[in-house]
Amino acid sequence: MKKTQLVFVPAPVRGHLISTVEFSKRLTQRDDLLSIFVLVIRHPHGQSLESYTQQVAASNTSIQFINIPRVDQHLPEFLGSPEHGFTRYLESHKSQVKNAIVDQSESFTSLAGIVVDLFCTSMIDVANELGVPSYVYFTSSAAFLGFMLYLPIHYNQNGREFETSKPDAIIPTYSHPVPSSVMPSFAFNKVGGYSSILKHAMKFKETKGIIINTFAELEPHAVSQLKFDNETPPIYTVGPLLGPEGEKLKPDCERIMKWLDVQPPSSVVFLCFGSRGTLEPDQLAEMAIAIEQSGYRFLWSVRSPGSKDFTKPPGEYSSFSGILPEGFLERTKNRGLVCGWAPQLEVLAHEAIGGFVSHCGWNSTLESLWHGVPIATWPLYAEQQICAFELVSELELAVDLKMDYRMENAENLVKAEEIEKAIRCLMDTENPIRKRVREMKEMSRKVIEDEGSSFISLGRLIEAIHVNKAKA
């Protein structure tokens, strides 16, 4: 039987591309009549995930990758607004994406849809031009999707960006008023950040559906609000989708895992801030004091800062002795380990981990809940502040360390006393949050099994895709 084909256009950044491909894998595992083509746009600053895509292509013959020729374009907007610059960069590839699909027209005899990343909504125009249905794959939370869909409403009422001085906003997908202090920085950006995300949100409504990496039991209020909003396209909750295992092959990972193997169960606090998260030396010093004074075992991922406009990724320190307070490494050597890049998914899966001080990226959040590890919130950029707010205030699944922290305001130090207090609360075995997180761990597994909510939602999506094929 002829296969039904889908084209995916992910954003070329680690958290988005990997999540998209993992979703593609789940689709093809569920239905062997699906064939997927992933159009890979090069990262604007040369960062590549080619080894990952090659590995997937070699192991799954139903997923093919097509590299899109890069458009060289000078984009000064990256510094004023990473969101705007990135959007402009992706939009400049519209003709290349269309050409790639047209060039494959002989292969695409049963093309049932084009699935675009939340930053790639300009490709919805390509789908419309080709007469093909489009979907959005949303790599963040249902609540944050609701925030984005609220942007056109806010703009119609106010005609401008959000203001920090305004009262808390009433946004349907949040059961609590949302303070301006936890809204994403783009909400206040006057040089294209706000307007570009606003345009993405408006384009969402042109699609046949929005696919979200979440599950209904995790965000019941947000999901129900989206499903019963007549102006929102059909919602498909298909998560949790996690990153692939295998990071142990990276340098230093063997040392990290061996160290964890000899620690008592649930005794280690893991401090890690994602692939782009770093802290300045003054803040690292405060964190070191807090870690030492807390007395807990720790695994701490410390990386050198990249550029503020995201053109240069974080790197690795050759030595931590000149970065951390004098004598810290020596005094804590029997109960802690400082490392560079850490294999986050494998670390969170280890029984020694008892708590996670996290930037609250959505992928990291799902990984932490999957393994039943409670979080202390330390967001840095993008939508991480509002994700932290949801985890603490809406879902009661995290400890508030500093949910309104922002990398661009790094001069506002979080003091050691505040960090130590949060670590102690996080690692307290009597903290009720730990019980809620354990319950969510079990639920996150049930929802993807037969008759689970995400299993059913994915089935609905696959049925809709096959209907599209029949109409083509």
Integer Rg of the chain from CA: 22
Mean pLDDT, residues 177-202: 96
Find out whether 227 and 443 touch, Cβ atoms under 8 Å. no
Q: What is the Cα–Cα distance from 378 to 186, expressed in whole angstroms?
A: 18
Q: What is the Cα–Cα distance from 17 to 116, expressed in whole angstroms?
A: 11
Q: What is the Cα–Cα distance from 217 to 132, expressed in whole angstroms?
A: 32
pLDDT surpasses 60 at 388: yes
**Of 241 and 107, more confident:** 241
Closest CA to 375 of 352, 354, 393, 349: 354
pLDDT of residue 79: 60
Q: What is the pLDDT of residues 160-183, one digit of tens each?
A: 999 998 899 999 999 999 999 999
Q: Give Cβ neighbours of residue 461 (< 8 Å, ≥ 6 apart).
A: 209, 211, 236, 238
Identify the band that residue 186 occupies on the pLDDT scale cut at 50, 70 and 90.
Answer: very high
Q: What is the pLDDT of residues 391-433, one digit of tens each?
A: 999 999 999 999 999 988 767 899 999 999 999 999 999 999 9
Find out whether 6 and 36 touch, Cβ atoms under 8 Å. yes
Q: Give Cβ neighbours of residue 180 (< 8 Å, ≥ 6 apart).
A: 162, 163, 164, 165, 166, 168, 169, 187, 188
What tokens appear for 317 in the block?
Answer: 């320190």
pLDDT of residue 408: 83
Mean pLDDT, residues 73-94: 80
- β strands within 32-125, DSSP E: 34-41, 63-68, 111-117
Cis amide leading into 305 (omega within 30): no
Which CATH number does the domain 247-444 belong to among 2.60.40.1730, 3.90.1580.10, 3.40.50.2000, 3.30.930.10? 3.40.50.2000
Measured CA to CA in angstroms, residue 247 lies from 58, 115, 213, 244 at distances of 18, 27, 22, 8
pLDDT of residue 390: 98
pLDDT of residue 75: 56
pLDDT of residue 33: 93
User: Across 13-22, 276-285, 453-462, which has the greatest mean pLDDT?
Assistant: 453-462
pLDDT surpasses 90 at 278: no
What tokens appear for 210 in the block?
Answer: 């929005």
pLDDT surpasses 90 at 297: yes
**Of 174 and 253, more confident:** 174
- Identify the weakest region by mean pLDDT among 169-173, 442-446, 464-468: 464-468
Q: What is the Cα–Cα distance from 308 to 443, expressed in whole angstroms?
A: 38
Q: What is the Cα–Cα distance from 183 to 369, expressed in whole angstroms?
A: 23
Looking at every residue in the chain, the average pLDDT score rounds to: 92
Find out whether 398 and 391 touch, Cβ atoms under 8 Å. yes
Mean pLDDT, residues 8-16: 94
For strand 268-272 and strand 111-117, is the pairing parallel, antiparallel, or unpaired? unpaired
pLDDT of residue 64: 94
Q: What is the Cα–Cα distance from 272 to 299, expressed in whole angstroms?
A: 8
Mean pLDDT, residues 458-471: 88
Total count of residues recorded for the chain:
472
pLDDT of residue 409: 77
Give percent of the chain above pLDDT 90. Answer: 78
Closest CA to 269 of 170, 187, 338: 338
Q: What is the pLDDT of residues 234-252, one digit of tens each?
A: 999 999 999 887 655 566 8
pLDDT of residue 321: 86
DSSP state of 173: T
Amino acid at 326: E
SS3 6: strand
pLDDT of residue 229: 94
**Of 108 and 349, more confident:** 349
pLDDT surpasses 60 at 8: yes
pLDDT of residue 2: 81
Name the helix (H) or strand (E) containing 355: strand 353-358
Q: Please indicate whether the domains covering 4-239+450-471 and 247-444 agree at the CATH topology level.
A: yes
pLDDT of residue 443: 98
Find out whether 194 and 186 touch, Cβ atoms under 8 Å. yes
Identify the band that residue 83 occupies on the pLDDT scale cut at 50, 70 and 90.
Answer: very high
Amino acid at 207: T
Which CATH number does the domain 4-239+450-471 belong to among 3.40.50.1000, 3.30.70.20, 3.40.50.2000, 3.40.50.920? 3.40.50.2000
pLDDT of residue 80: 80
pLDDT of residue 322: 86
Mean pLDDT, residues 320-347: 94
Identify the band that residue 32 occupies on the pLDDT scale cut at 50, 70 and 90.
Answer: very high
Name the helix (H) or strand (E) containing 255: helix 253-261
Query: pTM of the full predicted structure?
Result: 0.95
Measured CA to CA in angstroms, residue 186 lies from 163, 182, 328, 446 at distances of 11, 11, 37, 36
Domain range list for the chain: 4-239+450-471, 247-444
